[in-house]
Chain A
Amino acid sequence: MESSLSSYESRVHSAFGGIRPDVSDPKVLAWLIRRNGLEMTHLSRGSHIGSIFSAAEIIAVLYTSVLRVDPENPAWPERDRMILSKGHAGSAVYSALAERGFFPVEELKTHYQDGSRLSGHVSHRGVPGVEVSTGSLGHGLAIGAGLALGAKMDGASWRTFVVLGDGECDEGEVWESALQAAQFGLDRLTAVVDYNHMQSLDFVDRTLRLEPFEAKWRDFGWNAMSCDGHDTEALKDAFAWARKNEGSGKPSVILAHTVKGKGVSFMENNILWHYRTPQGEEYEAALKELEAQRP
Chain B
Amino acid sequence: MRDAFVRALLEEMERDSRVVLITGDLGFGVLRPVRERFPDRLINAGIAEQSMVGLAAGLAMTGRKVAVYSIGNFPTLRPLEQIRNDCAYHGLDVKIVCVGGGFVYGSLGMSHHATEDMAVMRAIPGITCFTPGDPAETEAVVPVMFDTPGTCYLRLGRGNEPHVHQERVENWTFPEAIRVREGKDIALLTAGGILIEAWRASCLLEEHGKNAAVWSFPCLKPIDENRIRQLAEEYTDLITVEEHTIEGGFGSAVCEIVAECGSGCRVHRMGLKDCFASKVGTQAYLRHWYGMDAEGIETRAEQILQGK
Contacts and interface: CB of A to CB of B under 8 A. Distances in A.
B46 A180 contact: yes
Contact of A173 (B46, B50, B60): B50
A154 B62 contact: yes
B45 interface: yes
Interface in A149-166: 149-151, 153-154, 156
Interface of B: 40, 43, 45-46, 48, 50-64, 81-82, 85-86, 89-90
Contact of A177 (B43, B51, B56, B90): B51
Contacts of B52: 142, 176
Contacts of A148: 58
A179 B90 CA distance: 25
A172 interface: yes
Contact of B40 (A124, A125, A153): A153
A184 to B, nearest CB: 8
Contacts of A145: 51, 54-55, 58
A136 B86 CA distance: 10
Given A154-B62, A156-B62, A172-B50, 12 more contacts: A124-B90, A141-B51, A141-B54, A142-B52, A142-B54, A143-B58, A150-B63, A173-B54, A176-B46, A176-B51, A176-B52, A177-B48
Contact of B64 (A135, A136, A150): A150
Contacts of A136: 81, 85
A153 B85 CA distance: 25
Task: Specify which of B61, B62, B86 lies most central, judged by the most chain A CB atoms within 10 Å of its CB.
Answer: B62
B42 to A, nearest CB: 12
A245 interface: no
Please provide the 4 A-B residue pairs with the shortest distance between their CB atoms, ordered closest to farther: A146-B58, A142-B54, A150-B62, A176-B51
Contacts of B89: 125, 133
Given A139-B86, A143-B86, A150 B51 contact: no
Contacts of A150: 58-59, 61-64
Among A124, A134, A172, A176, max chain B CB count under 10 A is at A176
Given A146-B56, A147-B62, A133 B85 contact: yes
B90 A133 contact: yes
Q: Kindly name the residue among A142, A151, A183 whose own CB sees the greatest number of chain B CB atoms within 10 A.
A: A142
B54 A146 contact: yes
A43 to B, nearest CB: 26
A142 B55 contact: yes
A142 B85 contact: no
A141 B50 CA distance: 11
A132 interface: yes
Contacts of A37: none
A147 B66 CA distance: 12
Contacts of B46: 176, 179-180, 183
Nearest to B87: A143
B58 A176 contact: no
